[in-house]
Chains A and B, each alone.
Chain A
Amino acid sequence: MTGQNQIGDRRRYAEEQLAALISTAVDGIMCIDEAGRAELFNPACERIFGYAADEVIGQNIRMLMPPKYSEHHDGYIHSYVNTGVKKIIGIGREVEGMRKNGEVFPMDLSVGEFQHEGQRRFVGIVRDLSARAASERRLHELQNQVAHMGRVSAVAEMGSALAHELNQPLTAMTLYLTAAERAIIQDPEKAADLFRRSKVEAARAGEIVRRIRQMVERTDHDMAMFNLHEVVSVSLDLCRIADSERDCVIEVKGLATTFEAFGDATQIQQVVVNLVKNALDATAGQADRRVRITAKVSDMVELFIEDNGPGVAPGIRERLFTPFTSSKEKGLGIGLSICRNIAEAHGGDLDLLESIAPPEGLGGARFKMSLPLETRADA
Chain B
Amino acid sequence: MPDFHIVIVDDDAAIRDSLQIFLESPGRRVTCYPSGDAFLGAAAAPPDLLFLDLKMPGLSGLEVLRRLGRPAFPVVMISAHGDISAAVQAIRLGARDFVEKPFAPESIEETIAAIQTEGDRPKPGAGADPLAQLTQREREIALALNEGLANKEIARNYDISPRTVEVHRARIFEKTGVRNVAGLVRLIAGF
Contacts and interface: CB of A to CB of B under 8 A. Distances in A.
A212 B10 CA distance: 24
B29 interface: no
A170 B18 contact: no
Given A160-B82, A245-B57, A246-B57, A179 B11 contact: no
B21 A174 contact: no
A164 B14 contact: no
A163 B80 CA distance: 9
B82 A246 contact: no
Main secondary structure of the interface of A (DSSP, over half): helix
Nearest to B21: A179
Interface string A158-182: 0010011001111111111011000
Contact of B102 (A170, A204, A245): A170
Contact of B15 (A160, A163, A172, A178): A172
Given A174-B102, A246-B11, A246-B57, A164 B81 contact: yes
A168 B101 CA distance: 7
A171 to B, nearest CB: 4
Interface residues of A, number: 24
Given A164-B81, A171-B101, A174-B105, A204 B14 contact: yes
A171 B58 contact: no
Contacts of A175: 15, 18-19, 21-22, 105
Nearest to B104: A174
A335 B15 CA distance: 34
Contacts of A169: 14
Given A174-B104, A178-B105, A247-B58, A163 B81 contact: yes
Interface string B1-33: 000000000011011011101100000000000
Contacts of A176: 18, 21-22
Interface of B: 11-12, 14-15, 17-19, 21-22, 55-58, 80-82, 101-105
17 contacts: A164-B81, A168-B15, A169-B14, A171-B101, A171-B102, A172-B12, A172-B18, A174-B102, A175-B19, A176-B21, A178-B22, A179-B18, A197-B14, A200-B14, A204-B14, A246-B11, A247-B58
